[in-house]
Amino acid sequence: MALLQDLLGAIRESRIEIVDLTAPLSASTPVLRLPEPFANTIPFQLEEISRYDEPGPFWYWNNIHTGEHTGTHVDAPKHWASGQDGLDVAQLPLRALVAPAVVLDVSGKVAGNPDFVLEIEHVRKWEQANGPLPAGGWLLYRTGWDERSSDEAAFLNADETGPHSPGVSAECARWLAEETELAGLGVETVGTDAGAAHSFTPAFPVHNYFLGAGKCGLTQLQNLAQLPATGAMIVVSPLPIVGGSGSPARVYALVEK
Ligand code: MN
């Protein structure tokens, strides 16, 4: 009892701040665009049922149309072929969704190179300064890409050679997924892999290795700049879509002032 009272007191007195890491969900939320011959997700849409009118004189409500992988969202292991025997989004253990989070900031490097990829040496250097990656926790990969999130063209950053956005090298993705105790990787981009990761070996290595290892992905985060390198707690709340491969999620962090 005392632990929760202390926590609630600290939140009430703003000694602990709650930082929203979620992108607003609307028809203009950027979504992934796959090239032919692959199928694509629909954009988020509201469909009005009634608005204090004849179909519903006292009430306003909508149907929502969305993909599972729209806006700030979770990738469950089942999303990828390598994780197809793994958990669906409704089965994710809550203990993995309320967990420690650390922030690795490479926004300075990405500013001059949108195709920047994280290597093991960058993580090792971060660990030397900040300590080990948190067991059962999340690595939040700050690239500065959230600044582009209100403009789909800038966010996807595609040209005739495909999309250009930062990610993680295949070697580093395998190492993070298989040789650390992370629960997942969170990013600011439209997906957890680099824009050019279709050409990596294996293709889409973050998806391949993390989901194959039973870990999760988390995308389109915002406001990571407001988090400390270590010491935050993240709360990730996907919808429990039975059999689902992922879900839009509200994500926030608790940060000690
Ligand atoms: Mn996804």
- Report the sign of the C-alpha dihedral through residues 232, 31, 156, 194, in that order: positive
Contact criterion met (CB below 8 Å) for 133 and 126: no
Q: Can you give the pTM of this predicted structure?
A: 0.97
Contact criterion met (CB below 8 Å) for 51 and 39: no
Alpha carbons within 13 angstroms on the beta-carbon side of residue 58 total 0
Known catalytic membership, residue 79: yes
Contact criterion met (CB below 8 Å) for 31 and 70: yes
Closest CA to 18 of 4, 26, 7: 7
Alpha carbons within 13 angstroms on the beta-carbon side of residue 15 total 6
Contact criterion met (CB below 8 Å) for 86 and 211: yes
Q: List the chain pLDDT tens, one digit each, 257 residues.
A: 699 999 999 999 999 999 999 999 999 999 999 999 999 999 999 999 999 999 999 999 999 999 999 999 999 999 999 999 999 999 999 999 999 999 999 999 999 999 999 999 999 999 999 999 999 999 999 999 999 999 999 999 999 999 999 999 999 999 999 999 999 999 999 999 999 999 999 999 999 999 999 999 999 999 999 999 999 999 999 999 999 999 999 999 999 99
In 10 A of CB 72, how many CB atoms? 25
Q: What kind of architecture, by CATH, is found in domain 9-41+67-256?
A: 3-Layer(bba) Sandwich (3.50)
Distance of CA 89 to the CA centre of its chain: 14
Domain ranges for the chain, please list them: 9-41+67-256
Residue 233 Cα to ligand 1 midpoint, Å, equals 22
Q: Ligand 1 being an ion, which residues bring their Cβ within 5 A of it?
A: 69, 75
Residue 239 Cα to ligand 1 midpoint, Å, equals 14
Tell me phi and psi for residue 255, to 5 degrees. -130, 130
Residue 75 Cα to ligand 1 midpoint, Å, equals 5
Q: Given the residues 65, 69, 73, 79, select the one marked as catalytic.
A: 79
